[in-house]
């Protein structure tokens, strides 16, 4: 299904040496450019797996609306992929009012694509806090659910099955790619943020099962941070899925806004179109590299999502975090590159010309 939807089979690229000074000492950092997936992020793996499961079970036959809650990547991906699966179903998003106010570009895009938007008085993400998230999920089920509406609970707060499907999307999609692309690499570390924890749990479980000695590094943001896609310890709460995620982690780092945004800018200078979450992933990898610079190791991470809907957010937060304005010229150059690379990736995948697809399918 990934081939038809234009999801998955992304290349593995090495972080440029001007960003990773430890490469000369044998510490190499690689990333998967997940922003070239249809839908613009790694969420395409989870969304496509969820849609495939519910379609196979026949549940989509009578559904008119599919809804979810989150920062934006999930609903954006759902909005892009759903018409390819069932054009008669309308996507609906529950999103924090602050995020909608700060990201009018995304809001306009979703509405133009036919998505319904409901704002929540809950900061950036109505399920950012697990306790608050559970209350919102329960209220949603009680007040809005009917037999024609399907809620995709990517956090697994109200529907644990959806949390498993979220993780399975990475276990069965991302893990085989990484295993193939790192075949023969020794001393492998994998770095992933703690957001909904689907990508962390699914990928970490798969890599630890397949590679003896593989190490997992989980990332949280500091309290009050603005690294969209990561959660702080307080936001994560004491959920069962958090415990499962942290049991898989050998190391957990907390990443500051300054660290994430500074790394993002350094990646831009090297031509890598990172977002704040992408900056945080690479920042975590660099922190690990610094601590292990006397060893020969290989680190794999992701640039999880696309910069194209970050203009207003970065214009607001870069001056506050870094004391500098957004470089619009560089931003637009990278945005254009992302759109071009995504178009090419989707086309080659659908035509069966993707090298990785042909190698492991």
177 and 252 co-located in one domain: yes
For residue 246, tell me if it sits in a domain: yes
Contact 245, 279 (CB under 8 A): no
pTM of the model: 0.92
C-alpha 15: how far from its chain's center? 18
Identify the domain containing residue 75 by its residue range. 43-154
Among 81, 36, 30, 29, CA closest to 55: 81
Residue 211 domain flag: yes
Instruction: Give the pLDDT score at 124.
Output: 67
- Rounded CA-CA distance 18/95 in Å is 37
Is residue 65 a part of any domain in this protein? yes
Choosing from 131, 154, 177, the residue where a domain stops is 154
Same domain, 183 and 315: yes
Residue 159 lies in a domain: no
Residue with tokens 């997992």, as numbered in its chain = 216
> Exposed/middle/buried for 88, CB within 10 Å: 0-12, 13-18, 19+?
exposed
Instruction: Give the Cα separation of 218 and 281 in Å (integer).
Output: 9
Cβ atoms of 66 and 78 closer than 8 Å: yes
- Please check whether residues 15 and 136 belong to one and the same domain: no
3-state SS, residue 9: coil
Tell me, what CATH number does 48's domain have?
Answer: 3.40.50.1100
- Non-local (6+) Cβ contacts of 308 within 8 A are 40, 105, 335, 338, 339
Whether residues 226 and 83 share a domain: the answer is: no
Co-location of 36 and 51 in the same domain? no
Domain for residue 164, yes or no? no
35 lies in the same domain as 142: no
Mark whether 133 and 259 lie in a shared domain: no
Q: Treating both helix axes as pointing N-terminal to C-terminal, what angle do 174-181 and 160-171 enclose, rounded to 10 degrees? A: 20
Q: Looking at 154, 181, 210, which one is the last position of a domain?
A: 154
| CA atoms of 239 and 252, how far apart (whole Å) | 17
| H-helix or E-strand spanning residue 298 | strand 297-303
Task: For residue 212, tell me if it sits in a domain.
Answer: yes
On whether residue 51 sits in a domain, the answer given is: yes
Give CA–CA dist 216/198, Å, rounded. Answer: 14
Element (DSSP H or E) covering residue 28: strand 27-33
> Digits of tens for pLDDT over the chain (361 positions)?
788 999 999 999 999 999 999 999 999 999 999 999 999 999 999 999 999 999 999 999 999 999 887 778 899 999 999 999 999 999 998 887 777 788 888 999 999 999 998 887 766 666 655 555 555 555 555 555 678 889 888 877 778 898 899 999 999 999 999 999 999 788 999 999 886 678 899 999 999 999 989 999 999 989 888 887 777 677 666 555 556 677 889 999 999 999 999 999 999 999 999 999 999 999 999 999 999 877 899 999 999 999 999 999 999 999 999 999 999 999 999 999 999 999 999 999 999 999 999 998 7
- pLDDT on residue 314: 95
Strand 215-221 with 116-120, pairing: unpaired
Looking at 98, 121, 154, which one is the last position of a domain? 154
Would you state the pLDDT for residue 72? 83
Same domain, 87 and 204: no
The CA distance from 235 to 128, in Å, is 6
Instruction: Report how far residue 257's alpha carbon sits from residue 201's, in angstroms, rounded to the nearest whole number.
Output: 24
Number of domains in the chain: 2
Same domain for 52 and 28: no
Residue 103 confidence (pLDDT): 85
Q: Are residues 195 and 327 in the same domain?
A: yes
258 belongs to a structural domain: yes
Task: Calculate the CA 35 to chain-centre distance.
Answer: 9
102, containing H or E segment: helix 97-102
Same domain assignment for residues 227 and 260: yes
Q: What is the DSSP letter of 126?
A: T
Residues in CB range of 144: below 8 A, 6 or more apart: 67
Q: Which residue has the tokens 């990773």?
A: 20
The two tokens of residue 176 are 């085989």
Q: Rounded to an integer, what is the distance from CA 12 to the centroid of its chain?
A: 16
Together in a domain, 217 and 69: no
């Amino acid at each position: 299904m990934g081939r038809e939807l234009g999801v998955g089979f992304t290349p593995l690229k090495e972080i440029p040496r001007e960003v990773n000074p430890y490469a000369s000492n044998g510490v190499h950092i690689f990333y998967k450019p997940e922003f070239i997936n249809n839908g613009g992020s790694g969420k395409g793996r989870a969304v496509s797996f969820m849609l495939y499961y519910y379609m196979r079970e026949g549940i989509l036959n009578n559904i008119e609306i599919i809804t979810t809650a989150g920062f934006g990547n999930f609903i954006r991906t759902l909005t892009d992929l759903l018409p390819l699966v069932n054009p008669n179903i309308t996507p609906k998003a529950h999103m924090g009012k602050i995020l909608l106010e700060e990201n009018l570009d995304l809001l306009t895009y979703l509405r133009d694509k036919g998505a319904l938007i409901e704002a929540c008085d809950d900061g950036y993400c109505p399920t950012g806090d697990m306790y608050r998230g559970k209350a919102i999920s329960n209220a949603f089920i009680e007040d809005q659910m009917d037999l024609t509406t399907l809620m995709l609970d990517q956090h697994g707060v109200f529907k644990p099955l959806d949390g498993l499907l979220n993780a399975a999307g990475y276990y069965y999609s991302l893990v085989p790619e990484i295993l193939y692309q790192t075949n023969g690499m020794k001393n492998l570390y994998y770095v992933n943020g703690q957001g909904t924890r689907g990508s962390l749990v699914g990928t970490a479980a798969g890599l630890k099962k397949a590679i003896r000695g593989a190490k997992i590094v989980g990332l949280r943001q500091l309290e009050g941070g603005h690294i969209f896609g990561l959660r702080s310890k307080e936001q994560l709460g004491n959920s069962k899925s958090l415990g499962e995620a942290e049991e898989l982690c050998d190391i957990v780092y907390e990443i500051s806004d300054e660290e994430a945004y500074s790394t993002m800018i350094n990646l831009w200078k090297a031509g890598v179109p990172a977002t704040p979450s992408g900056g945080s992933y690479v920042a975590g990898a660099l922190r690990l590299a610094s601590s292990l610079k006397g060893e020969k190791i290989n680190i794999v991470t992701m640039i999880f999502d696309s910069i194209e809907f970050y203009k207003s957010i970065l214009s607001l937060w870069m001056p506050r975090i870094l004391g500098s304005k957004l470089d619009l010229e560089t931003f637009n150059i990278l945005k254009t590159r992302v759109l071009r690379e995504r178009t090419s990736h989707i086309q080659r995948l659908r035509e069966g010309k993707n090298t990785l697809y042909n190698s492991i399918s």
